[in-house]
Structure 1
């Protein structure tokens, strides 16, 4: 492991965590979007993390989309309701998404702390070298 590998590895983690936070916030923002039964529901996004090709860190390995079927809800007064009074909502579990949000946020904070501590260690090593 090289001198600045800790910062680089933690930086890759921060990038994946940011993408994860973006996906969760997108899911939460669209959780209550209704569509007509003839259209697809909003498809939740799930980030897949994978080891980076050089073996030093992590990267976004892909994005998995949720079910386009969603869930049918009877709301006869809704402007998008079909003849039977149904509209389609995304299949997004708010409690699961909030849990994912907290996990992604804590992982981002942990990686940011690694970057900060590595920086402080490198600065201390430079001060020793100057003495």
Structure 2
């Protein structure tokens, strides 16, 4: 695999993990959002899914975003009869965002991002050493 192909493969991983971190940040930012109308649904946690792809021209494997889907987990219900978003029984639906899960996902995405950066640096270093040998 040449430098261009290895950098392209790692770049697909960088783009994918960057999007994943952005979606996680949106989830955390909306973790306290409630419905605008009484009995309505609050913010639904979003999850990024990936798929592997082959670049037919170079033969390199990469990753792309398959989709960004809403998490099907149930919303949390809290009793807040004074809230404008409360239903007839006084319950407010809260987002299905768990801060601990989001933090763990963010850490995993960060590590994957760093691994792709390290792969680019390693490919660049090997190419530089090869050039030095040819001098």
Is TM-score (shorter-chain normalized) higher than 0.5?
yes
Alignment CA distance shift 1:15-1:90 (3 Å)? same
| Aligned-partner Cα distance in 1 for 2:65–2:51 | 6
Alignment gaps of 5+ in structure 2: none
Matched, 1:90 2:95: yes
| Residue of structure 2 in register with 1:79 after alignment | 84
| Residue of structure 2 in register with 1:110 after alignment | 115
Aligned residue-pair number: 130
Q: Give the structure-2-normalised TM-score.
A: 0.85
Alignment gaps of 5+ in structure 1: none
| Residue of structure 2 in register with 1:16 after alignment | 16
| Aligned-partner Cα distance in 1 for 2:132–2:33 | 56
- Aligned to 1:87, the other structure's residue is in SS state strand
Q: Give the structure-1-normalised TM-score.
A: 0.87
1:31-42 equivalences in 2 (<5 Å): 31-35=31-35, 36-42=37-43
